[in-house]
Every structure is written in C-alpha cells, then in structure tokens.
Structure 1
Amino acid sequence: MIGLLATLAFTVPLIGGLILFRLDERKADVVMLASFITAMLLQLGVAVIYLLDHEELIHIAYLKSTQFGEVYGIIIDPMSVLIGTVVAVAGFIFMFYGVEYMSERNVGHPGGKGRGLFYAWMTLFEGATLGFIYSSTFLGLLIFFELMGLACWGVVSFYNTPAGRRAGFKAFIIPNVGAMIGFYTAIYIGLTQLHDLSLFSLPKVSPEVKPWLFLALLIAGYTKSAQFPTYSWIPDAMEAPTPASAFLHGAAMVEMGVYLVARVIQFIGPLPVWIFYFMAVMVSLTLLIPILNYPVQKDAKRLLAYSTVAEAGIMFVGLTYAVLGLTGKAPGFDVGLKAAMFQLTTHAFVKGLAFLTAGTFTYSLGTLDLRQISGLRKLLPVNGLAWTVALLGLAGLPPMGIAFSKAELLTNLSLVRVSALAWLPILMVLADSAVFLWVGLKWITRNVFGRPKAVRAPTHPIITASLVTLIVLTLVSAYLAYPLVEEITFYGVIP
C-alpha cells in the first residue's frame, strides 16, 4: 500500500504535467491544482502510514535484470518520507499562490493567457522531484535529474526575454554537465563492475575506486546545488516567475543536489579522510561568495538567490561532517547527515516565504528594487510581517525553524577536532549568518518601517493566505520534522 502511494505521488503530477501542455486559463488552473493537491495528499498518506508502521527502510525493486541487477526501484525511509512531504506541501502552497501571481492583476508581470505552459513545466518539476527522492537506482536518479533540469529550463525561460533564454540555457547546461560526470560514472561502474545499478551496491565498490566515484557524484551535487565554482547560474535563474523561483530554491532543484550527496553518503561506506578536507575547503569557498555579495544586492530576488547558495552550502557543511564519520576519524558521526536534512526541511518554508513575499513586490508594487520599496507596515502589513520573518529566519534567529537546524550543526563539536581546518566551515556558517542579519535588518528598516512611497497597493486573499500559511510553517517546521530527522542514519558499513 505505501509503495503504491509513493509511486502515485510522483506519477500523478508527471501525467498532469503532460496534459497541461494542451491546456490554458481556467482549465489549466483546475488540472494544475488537482495535480498538486493529489500529490500532496498521496505524500501525506505515505507519511502517516510510515509513521504508524515505523519501519526503518522499505525497498521495492520494480525492475530487475540478471545482467544489470536492480534497474529501477524506490526507497521509503525517514529521509525520503520527510523530504518528499516537504516538496509536496511546499509545492502546493507555491502553486496555489501562483494561480493569482500568474493572473492579469499582477502589476509587474500581467499574466492570463499562456500560463498553461508554465503550469505544465511546474507540474512536471514536482513529479520529477518526487521521483528523484524515492529512486533507489542510479538510472532512476539520472532520469529524474534530467527531467528536473528540463523543467527548470522551461520555467526560467518562460517569459521568453533574451535574459530569460540565456538564464534558462545556463540553468540547464551547468547541472547537466555535473550529471554526465556523476551519473554516467556511477552507471558505468554499476554495469561493468557491480552488475547492479542500485544504491545498495555502493558498499561493494572497490576501495581504490570508491573515492573517485564519490567525487564524481559530489560534482553532480555541487552543480545542481549551485556550489562553488558553479554557483553563477542560480542568480541568473531569477528570470523565472516567482512561484518557480520559490520551488527551485526552496524545495526542488537546488536542494536535490544536497539530497543526492546525502543518499550516496548513507550507502557508500568508508571513505579516505582527504574527501573530508576537500569538501571542507569547497564549502568554505562557497559560503564566501554570498558573504561578499549580500551587501551590494539591490534586487530582492537576487539577494535571496545568494542566500540560497549559502543555505545549500550550510546543508553541505552537515554532509561534510557526515563524511568525517565515514573516514574513521569520528566514528558514527551521523549528526551531520541529520543536520543537513533538517536544514533542507526548515529552509524550504522560510525560503518559500521569502520568495513569495518578493513576488508580492512585483504583484502589488511592480518592482523588485529594494530601494523603491518602503512603508510595508502601513501599505501591506501582512507582506511586511512576512518579509521581516523571512529575512530574520534566513539569518538563523529563533523562533524560526531554521535556527534549530543551524544549531544542530553545533552539536558534538568535539568530534571535529581532527585539525584546525575542520573548524573552518562552522566559522563560515556563523559569518554568513552575521552578514545576512546585518543586511536583512537594513532592508527591514527601510522596506517595512520607512515612509510609504505609494498611497495604496493591490493584494489578494490567495496571496495573503499563502504568506500566512508559510509564516506558520516557518515557525513550526522544526518541531514537525524533528521525529523523522532523528531517525536518519547511515545504511552502509561504518568504519
């Protein structure tokens, strides 16, 4: 039963997305919302059944071959259930908001006709992301990875401007290069050496090959998550409609690079310590990029884009310490794996809140220029509250949920005393939070409490309801997620 529900959760939006390519306007609204609601209800059903039955891991192999072993299957475990639920719930909220955002009432981007194509890409995006989360083989991961990339191209280039077309091409090519390096390497090894494409075969990779396979898959994760040096595609992808930006940054594309590496870490078993040092250096360089860019950003979405680079980097900090647990230097250090998935969960809702609020600047005021936005406290009070909660939340202040996921990185710090370098990622996380808090307070003071520059600004109950829902989830997501987070662990051999 649970396997059927999980499979339908990603199959329904994939079918709905294909249908939407032929629809527009009201019919498209209905089919899109029906697809997202159905996926969310199915995924919530998976979560309820899993929590009630409390099985550690459910593995269903749908397609096997004598020569290639498992070709396609699904894994239902604490990590896939948690992240799948986050994607399904956040995706529905973003696209419920999107029905109004894509309307003709949007001051900055009047919509109406043509939105069926946007819905089609977004619904496929949802299905591909959920399919990726549950996949148990590298072939399945590759297929859904590429579908996500195709959908990302479709939504980023949706407005068909020169900048949008360039950004869409870039958003497709960079992660695709990473996919070729990582997944083609894994599939080649699976076909020629292991005769099995399953994640469960990873511990069988020879010790000489395993570090290089992990490095190849790490590159795939880095490109998908906009990490150094491949981060530049994510600020450019702000050409997408805002609901797509929220999904891309908060619950899908970027986070799936982190999820991929987390999945590999769960299964791969012992790794040499130089992998840990490599990841520590790379994530520290990644966090330096947004720290330098926050103060000079004037566009709301580009500010949030650099924040996404940093927040994904913080997830990779957790995975860096999880790798330390696979080197034998800090046995059983699965707290890093838990912290990464905890961060992914809490970040989804606060980043979604931030992007949807930025979208209301376009919808109500016709601009994303933060210098032109002032007096939200009087002009759009709910929007002003949402912007305040989002920026303070991204900086890591309690009681927002992301404060607790960042705090989990600081637990058991005695385990990182393998060298002075092991402290660098933690120091960079603290520096990023401090700089973003400084910049966030500056813009809150100006945008929310400054003198209004307009007499009135239009809004809509759908937008207000979406923002209020995300404010609540931003505050409670950590408490809801923690039981599943604590069950996430390694499946491979631990040194």
Structure 2
Amino acid sequence: MSFLHLLIVFPIFAVAIIPIIAKAVPRLHLGWAILAVPIFLFISFITFVPQISANETIAAAISWIPALDLHFAVYLDGLSLIFALLITGVGSLVVFYSIYYLSKERESLPHFYSYLMLFMGAMLGVVLTDNLMVLYLFWELTSVSSFLLIAFWYRRRKSQYGAQKSFLITVGGGIAMLMGFIMLQVMSGTTSIQEIISMRNSIQDHELFIPALVLILLGAFTKSAQFPFHIWLPDAMEAPTPVSAYLHSATMVKAGLFLVARFTPVFGGEATWFWLVSGVGIFTMFWGALFAMKQKDLKALLAYSTISQLGLIMSLFGLGSAALNGGADTDSVVYTTAIFVGLFHLVNHSTFKGALFMIVGIIDHGVGTRDIRKLGGLITLMPITFTLAVISSFSMAGMPPFNGFLSKEMFFTATLTATELSIFNMDTLGVVFPGLALIGSIFTFTYSTILVFRTFTGNYQREKLEKEPHEASIGLLISPIILCSLVVLLFFFPNQLSRFLLAPAMNGILPSYAGAEDFIPHIYAWHGFNTELFMTLGVVAGGFLLFKKYNLWKEVYDLFPSRISLDNGYRQILSISESTSNRFTNFYMTGFLRHYLFYIYAFLITVVGGTLFITGSFVLNTANDAPIGIYEALLVIIMGSAAVSILFTKSRMTATLLNGVLGYCIAIFFVLFRAPDLALTQLVVETVTTVLFLLCFYHLPEWSKEDRNLKVRIPKIIISASTGALTVLIALSVQGNRLFESISSYFEESYELAGGRNIVNTILGDFRALDTMLEVVVLFIAGIGVYTLIKVKAQDGGDSDERK
C-alpha cells in the first residue's frame, strides 16, 4: 500500500477510533483530537507540491479483483492535488471552527465527526482514484456521508427533507454516471481513467461515445447543483453551518466540477460536450444569481449564490473544452484560458464562500436568526465580523482588491473570446455567453451588497432578535480570518498560485497543450481601459441601482409562481411516486400466503420461461437417456394421479396424505436407482413432514366452499402445472446442453481419493466436508435457539403481564 493509499484511508480509519477517543477523554471537545487528521493530510499533500509543480505525476495500484479489472489505483497530478488541498485545507479550518460552534453538551460530536471524516475520505478517494468503478464507489460514499451530515439534526423535519432530497437527486445522477462508466469500459476495454484518456481517438467514433458522455454529465450536474438539478442545494442548508461551509462551498459541490475537468481530455472537443457543459453552466450562473436576491434567509442566499458560482466555473470548463477541437493553434490556445480561469475561480470561490458560510454561522450564533428582515445595524456590535463580511462578499462580487476580481475579469475575457472564434458556430451564438455573464454578474453584485448592508447597516431591531448581539469569540473568528487573508493575498500574489498549482492542473486537463506558447496566462490586476473593465463598471452601476430600487422591481419574482416551480415539480413527483407505490403495495400485500406464492411463481414462469423460449434454449435430447422400465412407468402414473387428485380434494388431511404418496414414490425411485441411503433419508423426511403437516392442519378449520370452488382453483392449477412443466423442461434442457465435461468421473475415484466405497458419503464427508460442517453448525445453532426458548418459557411459567 502506497503513501497515497494511506492518505485516503486515514480519515476513514479515524472514524473507527472516534468512539474510543470520545470515551477516553470525555471532558475534551472531540474536535481537538480530530483536528490532527485534516492538518496531517494537508501537510502531507503540501509536500507533493514541488514534485507536481515540476509536471511529475505519482501513481500506485493495489490489486483488488483482477478478473474484473478492478484495482484500487491512485493517481496524483496537478488537478487532483488542487482538490486534495482544498478538501484537507478547508477541512482543517472547518473542524477548528466547529470546535467553537458545536457544543459538546448539546450535540452528538462522535456522530458528527465520524460523518465528517467519512466524507473527507470519500472525497479524497474521488479525486485521487484512477479506476472508474472505485471512483463510483467513493462518489456514492460522498452522497451517503453528506446525507448523514445534512440530517445531523434529524429531529427537524426540514433536515430530514433536505437530506432525503439531496440523496435522491445526487444518487440518481450517480447511477446514470455508473452507466456511462460501464459504456466507457465497453468501448475501451479498461477501467483505468488514464488509459481511457490515451485511447480517446480510438473510441470517439464508437456508438456509445455520446450516450456515455451524456450519462457522465448527468452525474456531474446533479452533484454540482446545475440547473435543473440545483433544487437540492438550498434545502441542504438545514445542515449545521460547518457542514455547509465544507460540503456546499469547497468540496462536495466541487466533485462534479472535478469530474468534468478529469474527463475533458476524453470528451473535450465534442460539440455535445461543449454545448451541454458551457450552456448549462452559464444558464445556471444566471438562474442562481437571479433567485439569490429574493432570499430572506442568509444561508439560502448563499446557497443560490453557490449555485451561480458553480455554474460560472462549469461554463468556463465547457468553453475551454473547445480547445480540443483542433490542434494547438492560436485560437485554440486562447480557449485554454477559460480552463485556467475555471481552476483559478474554483480556488477563489472556496476561500470567499467558505468564509461567508462561517460568517453567517457567526451571525446566527450571535443574534439567534438568519432572517434578513430582522437584521440590521450590527456594524458597531460586530465590527470584526462586518470587516470579514465585506472582504468575502465583495470578493464574490468581483471587486478589487480581492481575488474574486481577478478571476471575474478573466471570466469576462473568456466569454468575450467566445464571440470572436468560429468553433462550433460560436460566431453566431457566442453573444449569449457574455450577455448572460454580464447580467449574472450584476445580480451577483446586488446580492453581495444585500448580504453586507442589509445585515450590518440600517436600523437596529433588537426586539426581533433572539439574543443580545455580540462579537464572536476569537475561536469562531480564526477560520474566516484565515480564509479572508487568503482572499487578499491571492489578489496581490496570484501568479505564485498559478506557478505551483494552476499550471500543473492545466497540464492534467489539457496534456497535449503543455508547453504551448501562452498556454498558462499571466495574471494581471490591471489590463488598461478595455471591454472587461467597462463591463465591470457596468456591473457596479447596475448592481448598485438594483440594490437601491429593489422594492420597485421585486415583483418580477411573481412571474415565477411556486406551483410551477422546479421545487414543486419535485414534490409532485415524490408525492405521485409515494401514492402510486402505496396503492400498488396495498394491491399485492393481501396478507395471504397463497397470493404471494401465486405472484412469485407467475413471475418465475413469465421471466424464466419467456426468456428460455425466446432465446430457443429449450432443447430436448433423449439420445443418451436410459430406457424407461415398467416399474418406473407405474410409479409415474401413481405420482401423476396423486398430484391431480390433490387439486380436487375437499379436506386438508386428504391433500396431506396424497402429498405423502408423492414423497414415498420418490423414495421408491431412489431404491430403483440403487441409492438406498437417499431412499432412507427421503422416507424419514417425508414421514416427519407428513406428521407435522397433520399436527398443524388439525388446528386449522376445514376448507370453505369458496376454497373448494373449481373457479377459484383454476388459476392455482394453471400456475402449478406451468411451474412443474417449466421445471421439467429446464431439467431436460440442462441435460441436453452439456457445455462442460461431467465431473462424475472424478468422484468415481472416491475410493482412491478418499478411501470410501460410497460416492455419496465421500462427497458429503470429504469432498464437501466444509460445506457439510457448516450445515451441521447451522443445525446446532438452531437447536441451541430452540432449547433456549424452551428453558426461558419453562422458567417464566408462561407470558406474564409484566412481560407483555
């Protein structure tokens, strides 16, 4: 096991020891012990930076199921390193923040940190694995662990609903993604992602290429909350603030972005990929920004702003994928700038959005509400929080001197470039991208302004607050202070980030362009008086005007009634699914065993019999069958007569006796076939079961006239006869389709191999000894259980009122 493997399993291993730590040091806040895990992981990944920045990669694999090409393969390059640092770096700050946010007296901290570490390990597995199926395993583990984190306050109905909603949507997308992965494996013959990337030219003309592309994007869009799958993210805000700061700003929602970036070398340059990724992304940016402004809850506002920012990054990855449409010419290299900006803004977003979630948590912690209508005038009461809010909010709005300004300017450049190039007819449709980018950025500036000024300025409304406002403790402030410091530092020193992290990540996404001129753009804070600057001035002017005149135009949201919203559509689908399943369940769950047997055998006949008939698998070959003797024919006639008589009998006792005739006839067959030991076993079993049936049926009422009615029995007769016929046909077909040489010759040497003259005994006692031993153990355990129940009953003297 390599060091990278250990880094992935380390937080998962921590889950196992968290209960031990909690019991060992009950007075210590569990977060202090858990904090060592993400810090160790972050430092470990930092040590890889020199190696990765030199354009080296690290790969290792552990064989798992070689026959299925399943290996726990890991691959660390610039792209996976950026995500690993975000997962562990922001994770460290979130754990530290949670120590002061979550009370060890009121919260179940072992559960919280177990879920958090499980999620961290799953995310590291997603970004570091090089095997499709292992990636899917970790992908769904992120969905499960995020479900547990969102539902941490499980007594709240909104937490339950939000967790269920996120789980259903993301897991649904994950299943679609799995189908896409299987198609990729069919096309390439491998589950290694890097091998698939190297085979791009040989699989892009395959008929499954486009279906696999669409299915994989469904997984990415659902996880990264792209339109129309974004509806789960606002409801997920019911999770504790540390969870929101971690999952919904820096990690889980970025998994879809990672998936798109990782598979860009495979699907990039394909028109379907380009239009889906860039089109859905840019519209999601616009849609999320539009609806962020109408939110009354600060976390809901941040949720929609996250949707918008994720759409922005997704659109950049889509625009940049056009570079793979041709060679490394001047136009294509210009497109690679979009990929670079997407990576840059991905890092920037994690810093200012993580800080914003923590700031909102501080406000909620300090005043007892997140309702914007109740807030205002907190600037003098919470000055440090206000300062941090200004830095992070205006970075999100794209204002200097913050890192968001740099990536926002480059975003404008990328969208403007889309109108100048002819790839995929962008010369005619490309104007949509800068248009939506400008409108979405205006809305972004507006809701960023709302977040700051509606919360910290205006009238102070103490009567509407649940707590006396106060500045947060230094423990709660340290994490957002660190993130806000990065917001400022990245504005002044962006090219250091570019050199050591962004450039290697670019090589991972577009390896064929590595070394091309202007492949890695230089980041400038000032570009002169150009179109991007005038767009920024328009954003400020338009956003400030919308903020000041909000009451005049907010009625525009009435054009989107809740009854036709995507949320309502989801609820309707859920309601219809539940009611339909209830009606269907009530239809077949009658409480009668005979009905359940009817369904089971009808399904067996339809599926198995239909499949064998359609495929022509029924083959009757009697060439090697032994001749049928007179005694065998008589026994068959007797058994057939007894079986038919059971259908017309009027009492349970008669039916039981006739069923016994069938069993004893089988015992006689064993005698004729020279298997006396089997005949003896059959006689014993048949005698015991017949006696037990008689004892049980003695206490049951006789069959009613309705039960004896022939019309009631006809469906049962049909099912019984069909099941029997199917079983016989399958047995005869198996005998007539010998795909392999019989193993009977091996057992014929039982005396030489096992020292026994009876083949059956040697099979049970030697060749299948372990199986026989386990069967005996099962019977022994059952016997102990029966003995225990008898002893308990005898000691108790029957059920007492207390036990009832």
| 1:441-480 alignment, distance < 5 Å | 441-454=449-462, 456-457=469-470, 459-477=472-490, 479=494, 480=496
Residue 128 of structure 2: aligned partner? 134
Hey, what's the Cα distance between the residues in 1 that align with 2:50 and 2:347? 17
* Pair 1:473–1:4, CA change in 2 (3 A): farther
Hey, what's the Cα distance between the residues in 1 that align with 2:268 and 2:312? 23
Per-residue displacement from partner, 1:230-280 (whole Å, max 9, x unpaired)?
000000000000000011122111011111110000x31564324322333
Following superposition, the deviation at residue 205 of structure 1 comes to 2.5
Following superposition, the deviation at residue 343 of structure 1 comes to 1.4
* Pair 1:215–1:327, CA change in 2 (3 A): farther
Hey, what's the Cα distance between the residues in 2 that align with 1:236 and 1:162? 11
Residue 363 of structure 1: aligned partner? 365
| 1:84-123 alignment, distance < 5 Å | 84-103=84-103, 112-123=106-117
Residue 325 of structure 1: aligned partner? 323
* Pair 1:481–1:87, CA change in 2 (3 A): farther
The residue identity in structure 2 corresponding to 1:288 is F
The residue identity in structure 2 corresponding to 1:205 is I
Hey, what's the Cα distance between the residues in 1 that align with 2:340 and 2:77? 13
- Check whether the contact 1:270–1:493 (CA below 8 A) recurs between aligned residues: no
Residue 108 of structure 1: aligned partner? none
* Pair 1:385–1:234, CA change in 2 (3 A): same
* Pair 1:250–1:241, CA change in 2 (3 A): same
Following superposition, the deviation at residue 63 of structure 1 comes to 2.9
Following superposition, the deviation at residue 66 of structure 1 comes to 5.8
Q: Secondary structure at the match of 2:226?
A: coil
Hey, what's the Cα distance between the residues in 2 that align with 1:112 and 1:48? 44
* Pair 1:314–1:301, CA change in 2 (3 A): same
The residue identity in structure 1 corresponding to 2:37 is S
Superposition TM-score, scaled by structure 2 size = 0.57
Higher mean alpha-carbon deviation, 479-488 vs 385-394, is at 479-488
| 1:34-433 alignment, distance < 5 Å | 34-51=36-53, 54-63=54-63, 67-69=67-69, 71-103=71-103, 112-160=106-154, 161-190=156-185, 192-202=186-196, 203=200, 204-208=202-206, 209-265=208-264, 267-268=265-266, 271-328=269-326, 331-332=332-333, 333-411=335-413, 413-414=416-417, 416=419, 417-418=421-422, 419=426, 420-433=428-441
- Check whether the contact 1:376–1:383 (CA below 8 A) recurs between aligned residues: no
The residue identity in structure 2 corresponding to 1:16 is A
Identity percentage of aligned residues:
23
The residue identity in structure 1 corresponding to 2:189 is H
Q: Secondary structure at the match of 1:377?
A: coil
Structure 1 runs, 4 residues or longer, greater than 6 Å off: none
The residue identity in structure 1 corresponding to 2:457 is F
- Check whether the contact 1:235–1:305 (CA below 8 A) recurs between aligned residues: yes
* Pair 1:64–1:27, CA change in 2 (3 A): same
Q: Secondary structure at the match of 1:357?
A: helix
The residue identity in structure 1 corresponding to 2:447 is V
Following superposition, the deviation at residue 491 of structure 1 comes to 5.0
1:481 pairs, out of 487, 497, 513, with 497
- The structure number with the bigger radius of gyration is 2
- Check whether the contact 1:248–1:254 (CA below 8 A) recurs between aligned residues: yes
Q: Secondary structure at the match of 2:63?
A: strand
Q: Secondary structure at the match of 1:296?
A: coil
Q: Secondary structure at the match of 2:140?
A: helix
The residue identity in structure 1 corresponding to 2:431 is W
* Pair 1:280–1:42, CA change in 2 (3 A): closer
> How many residues are treated as equivalent by the alignment?
482
Hey, what's the Cα distance between the residues in 2 that align with 1:81 and 1:33? 21
* Pair 1:456–1:297, CA change in 2 (3 A): closer
Q: Secondary structure at the match of 1:63?
A: strand
2:444 pairs, out of 436, 440, 444, with 436
Hey, what's the Cα distance between the residues in 1 that align with 2:19 and 2:152? 13
Q: Secondary structure at the match of 1:38?
A: helix
Hey, what's the Cα distance between the residues in 2 that align with 1:226 and 1:189? 24
Higher mean alpha-carbon deviation, 308-317 vs 80-89, is at 80-89
- Check whether the contact 2:384–2:471 (CA below 8 A) recurs between aligned residues: no
- Check whether the contact 1:350–1:474 (CA below 8 A) recurs between aligned residues: yes
Q: Secondary structure at the match of 1:74?
A: strand
The residue identity in structure 2 corresponding to 1:226 is A
Hey, what's the Cα distance between the residues in 2 that align with 1:467 and 1:281? 33
* Pair 1:141–1:425, CA change in 2 (3 A): farther
Hey, what's the Cα distance between the residues in 2 that align with 1:277 and 1:49? 35
Which runs of 5 or more structure 1 residues have no equivalent in the other structure?
105-110
* Pair 1:235–1:361, CA change in 2 (3 A): same
Per-residue displacement from partner, 1:22-66 (whole Å, max 9, x unpaired)?
664636323321222222222222235534xx1333332333776
Query: Which protein has greater RCO, CA pairs closer than 8 Å, 6+ apart?
Result: 1
- Check whether the contact 1:231–1:309 (CA below 8 A) recurs between aligned residues: yes
Which runs of 5 or more structure 2 residues have no equivalent in the other structure?
463-467, 514-804
Hey, what's the Cα distance between the residues in 1 that align with 2:230 and 2:340? 24
Residue 107 of structure 1: aligned partner? none
The residue identity in structure 1 corresponding to 2:129 is S
- Check whether the contact 1:156–1:239 (CA below 8 A) recurs between aligned residues: yes
